[in-house]
Amino acid sequence: MAEDGFVWIYLIFLLIPLSRVLPRVIKKYKMKNSNVNTQSSDKMFNLSNTNSSKSTDKFETPAKLTPKSIDMLVLGELSHGTKNFDMIQKKLGIDPEKLDSVLEDLENKKLMKVEQKQGLFGPKIELHPTEEGLKKYFS
């Protein structure tokens, strides 16, 4: 064991890596729980909506605003900040082949751009909507 005056050095070697890893773990935990909470609240909303006997315009507007095509769904996910192929696939539940063809189509129409970046664990690919893509989605 170390001398009494040098115990703080061991604390520094323990706390610095912990302070870098802990925020990432908390962020992943919050993201996982927020996805579960939004899915369960969506199910509750749909159940309460089907049980109601009154039909008003307030409840019909979300159905009018939902995108009609898969291209617009993917473009919507990109515009809301989802940058990863796997996250888009997980959120929308699309087959990888179908999603790949949709992303290629969006890139050919210049509605989306692909950026290759060097990450900590090697190269990574990020997907971003272009200005034309944002205009098309929000119009």
DSSP-derived letter for residue 128 is E
For 107, the token pair is 């890139």
Q: Which of 65, 91, 112 is the last residue of a domain?
A: 65
- Summarised one tens digit per residue, pLDDT across range 79-121 is 888 899 999 999 988 899 999 999 999 999 999 999 998 878 8
pLDDT tens-digit profile of 121-139?
A: 888 899 999 999 888 888 8
76 neighbors 94 (Cβ within 8 angstroms): no
What is the SS3 string spanning 63-99? HHHCCCCHHHHHHHHHHCCCCCHHHHHHHHCCCHHHH
Please answer whether residues 115 and 90 qualify as being in contact, where contact means their C-beta atoms are separated by less than 8 angstroms: no
Asked which of 39, 65, 91 is the last residue of a domain, the reply is 65
- 0.75 exceeded by pTM: no
125/75 same-domain check: yes
Domain termination site, one of 65, 92, 119 = 65
Q: Which two tokens stand for residue 38?
A: 């939004």
One domain for residues 77 and 42: no
